[in-house]
Amino acid sequence: MTSTIQTALFIAIVGILGIFIFMIIFYLLIKGLDKWFPYKEEKPEQDFVLDEIED
């Protein structure tokens, strides 16, 4: 195996590992977003109704 191939294999292995690490961190980040900001049913805005009552 030539040194060029060895270097290429090294870059490929580090590259694919790097992408997986990046994606795993991204995965944890999204999980965190879901935990900290879960979806809540949005209530209809009341301002318009209140304005009408005030009038």
The 18-47 contact track toward other proteins, x by CB under 8 A, reads xxxxxxxxxx-xxx-xx--xxxx-------
Q: How far is CA 25 from CA 29, 38, 42, in A?
A: 6, 19, 30
Query: Is residue 50 near other proteins by the rule CB under 8 A?
Result: no
Query: Is residue 1 near other proteins by the rule CB under 8 A?
Result: no
Amino acid at 16: I
In whole angstroms, give the CA distance from residue 15 to residue 31: 24
Contact footprint for other proteins (CB under 8 A): 4-5, 7-9, 11-12, 14-16, 18-27, 29-31, 33-34, 37-40
